[in-house]
Structure 1
């Protein structure tokens, strides 16, 4: 359990602390998935741009007089096929990482909304008056908004 969550006083019970800890872990997993998706996307775009620039300079311009000649030169070098498959695989990886990111975001948002919906049950009587401290700390340290259910 994170030290800052452990430091919440007795007005936050152990089950609530565990829920908040799980929320922080899901947020971190979502952030990691989001970073991996963005890095892979930019790598795929940059690689595709460089490959297309290379093809323009090495194949399209010198052999622009004939489509047959361009196709023949493209197929005659096996590195072109390998790079095409690699770039296609990168874009496929981007799609898989996007789906993973969406799944992690849904898990994170569902737990966050559950905590918001159940806040009346989690903080009772005197603790209800102190819950804003928990919400402020979660917002400032972990960038998790527990005040509103929408993104």
Structure 2
């Protein structure tokens, strides 16, 4: 459990601490997939750019006078097939990371909204209710998790 969550003392009960820890874990998972997806997007764009430049230099420019010649030269060179497979593979990886990112975001937002909805139940006592803003401020500052409103 995060040190900040453990140091909340009387402001929250153990079940609420566990919920806060779960939302932190899901936020980290979402951030991890978000960065992986962004990296895969840039790798895919870079590979596509390099591949098209390679095709332009080796196939299109020297054999631009005939489409049949372009096709023949393209098919004869096996490096084109490997480069095409690599590029399509990174595109597929990018799509996979996008789906995982969306799933992780959905889980994170659902738990975050549940905490916002149930805040009256989680901080039942009058003193806890008055001090909940301290918990919310800590979550916003330390982990960039907004528990004040349901909207992103």
TM-score over 0.5 (shorter chain):
yes
Structure 2: distance between partners of 1:43 and 1:28: 22
1:145 aligns with 2:149: no
CA distance in 2 between partners of 1:72 and 1:138 (Å): 61
CA RMSD of aligned residues (A): 0.6
- Number of aligned residue pairs: 151
| Cross-structure match for 2:39 | 39
For residue 126 of structure 1, report the CA deviation from its aligned partner: 1.0
Unaligned runs of 5+ in 1: none
Q: How many Å apart are 1:9 and its aligned residue? A: 2.0
5+ residue gaps, structure 2: none
Residue deviations 1:7-51 (CA, integer Å, cap 9, x gap): 002120000000000000000000000000000110011010011
For 1:133, the equivalent position in structure 2 comes to: 134
Bigger mean CA deviation after superposition, 102-111 or 2-11: 2-11
Give the Å deviation of 1:113: 0.1
Tell me the TM-score normalised to structure 1 length: 0.98
The equivalences for 1:1-151 within 5 A come to 1-124=1-124, 125-151=126-152
- When the two structures are superposed, what TM-score results if normalisation uses the length of structure 2? 0.98
